[in-house]
Amino acid sequence: MYILGIETTCDETGLGLIEVKENRVKIIDNQLSSQVKIHQPYGGVVPILAAREHEKNLPFLFKRIKNSFELEKVDYLAFSVGPGLLPSLLAGKKFIQELAKNLNKKVIPVNHLSAHWYSVLIRKKTQQWQKFITINFPALVLVVSGGHTTLYVFKSWNERRKIGETVDDAAGECLDKCARALGLGYPGGPEIERRAKMAKKFFSLPKPLLQKGYQFSFAGLKTAFIDLVSQIKKYGKLDEGTVNDLCASLQKTIFEIIIYKMKKASRDFKVKTLIVSGGVSANQTFKRMFKKAMPEIPIYFPQKSLATDNGINIALAGYFNLSSAVEVDKIEVFPR
């Protein structure tokens, strides 16, 4: 079976084509257009610009897939209906409406968060057949990205309970906003990771809500970080070495908060597996810290190219929700 997934929830335009047979999957095509350069001068995503870019990129990426694949063979289209930015979602909706009608295919509405957690099932980015990873339940599942820091306990793929989420900023958002305070550009996560590797010392930063169950809060940490940067600029020198130290301190603090809570949850819910997904899960230090903190529990991360938003994840989540396929006229978007 062939599924074409379409991602336009935020600032990545993604079209991903997969083939699935029983418990095996093959990536046929993965077209992605990042808008990083467009939003960089603003230090964050500008919704109206993002929508305009999606409108421009979708036909272009689609043409690339069409050039090497007979699209009549596609069985289903999968479309990420939210959560996301309304203008971006509407741009995607307009495209999928036309496409589904032209190809006469049903559309599977996909929850963007589910696309992140299913992404860990693909081990290799190569275009070869591969078996899905088998997950032992119960599993503790984290989605940690630019828009979300959400923790679930899954009894099976179809039975889950949200146990915590951020009450303010997402972890990725905190990294992005703090990077902006350091003049590092958008998105902040990858550059913070790169600089952190060169750090020589750590600054102490607060860990809000650490003892408050499974809720997260990163806004206070962000404010403390930005204050610290101002203090350093006022009384000292914000040289390269200090910026590197600040980057390491920030990511370490965020990762320690997340891992502390997940360690507690893994004991409280006696989970057999950990799943960590979303853009921030691309961070190597984060992965190392997890494995060190909880060596006894198998832990799955997406491979790097599937950690951030893309069309393959949407197609994959579509496959696990085939029964919700509908005529395209029934498709609605859900910003929140």
Residues that bind ligand AMP (CB under 6 A): 145-147, 172, 175-176, 187-190, 193, 278-280, 282-283, 308-309
Least Å distance, CB 225 to Mg ion, is 23
Least Å distance, CB 190 to ligand AMP, is 4
Residues 153/139, Cβ–Cβ less than 8 Å: yes
Residues 225/218, Cβ–Cβ less than 8 Å: no
Q: For residues 74 and 250, which CB has a smaller minimum distance to ligand AMP in the complex?
A: 250
Residue 176 binding partner per list ligand AMP, Mg ion, none, with a CB distance cut-off of 5 to 8 Å that depends on partner kind:
ligand AMP
State phi, psi for 167 to the nearest 5 degrees.
Answer: -90, -10
Q: For residues 32 and 229, which CB has a smaller minimum distance to ligand AMP in the complex?
A: 32
Q: How far apart are the C-alpha atoms of 141 and 326, rounded to whole Å?
A: 28
Least Å distance, CB 146 to Mg ion, is 7
Q: How far apart are the C-alpha atoms of 57 and 33, rounded to whole Å?
A: 7
Q: For residues 117 and 132, which CB has a smaller minimum distance to ligand AMP in the complex?
A: 117
Task: State yes or no: residue 309 binds Mg ion (CB under 5 A).
Answer: yes
Tell me the residue nearest to Mg ion as measured from the CB.
145
| Of 97-105, 144-152, 233-241, 311-319: span binding Mg ion (CB under 5 A) | 144-152
Residue 19 binding partner per list ligand AMP, Mg ion, none, with a CB distance cut-off of 5 to 8 Å that depends on partner kind:
none
Least Å distance, CB 5 to ligand AMP, is 15
User: Residue 78 corresponds to which amino acid?
Assistant: A
Q: For residues 31 and 114, which CB has a smaller minimum distance to Mg ion in the complex?
A: 114
Nearest Cα to 14, choosing from 104, 157, 149, 110? 110
Q: For residues 106 and 116, which CB has a smaller minimum distance to ligand AMP in the complex?
A: 116
Sheet holding 139-144, edge to edge: 159-165, 149-156, 139-144, 273-277, 299-300
Residue 172 binding partner per list ligand AMP, Mg ion, none, with a CB distance cut-off of 5 to 8 Å that depends on partner kind:
ligand AMP
Least Å distance, CB 171 to ligand AMP, is 8
Least Å distance, CB 213 to ligand AMP, is 24
Cis peptide before 208 (omega within 30 of 0): no
**Binding-site member from 31, 114, 145, 166 for Mg ion (CB under 5 A):** 145
Residue 16 binding partner per list Mg ion, ligand AMP, none, with a CB distance cut-off of 5 to 8 Å that depends on partner kind:
none
Least Å distance, CB 160 to ligand AMP, is 19
User: Residue 50 corresponds to which amino acid?
Assistant: A
Q: For residues 14 and 43, which CB has a smaller minimum distance to Mg ion in the complex?
A: 14
Residues 30/310, Cβ–Cβ less than 8 Å: yes
Tell me the residue nearest to ligand AMP as measured from the CB.
279
User: Residue 57 corresponds to which amino acid?
Assistant: N
Q: How far apart are the C-alpha atoms of 301 and 227, rounded to whole Å?
A: 33
Q: For residues 2 and 255, which CB has a smaller minimum distance to ligand AMP in the complex?
A: 255
Q: How far apart are the C-alpha atoms of 116 and 144, rounded to whole Å?
A: 9
- Structure tokens belonging to residue 6: 């379409």
Nearest Cα to 62, choosing from 104, 20, 92, 27? 92
Cα torsion 282, 283, 286, 291: sign: positive
Contact positions vs Mg ion (CB under 5 A): 145, 309
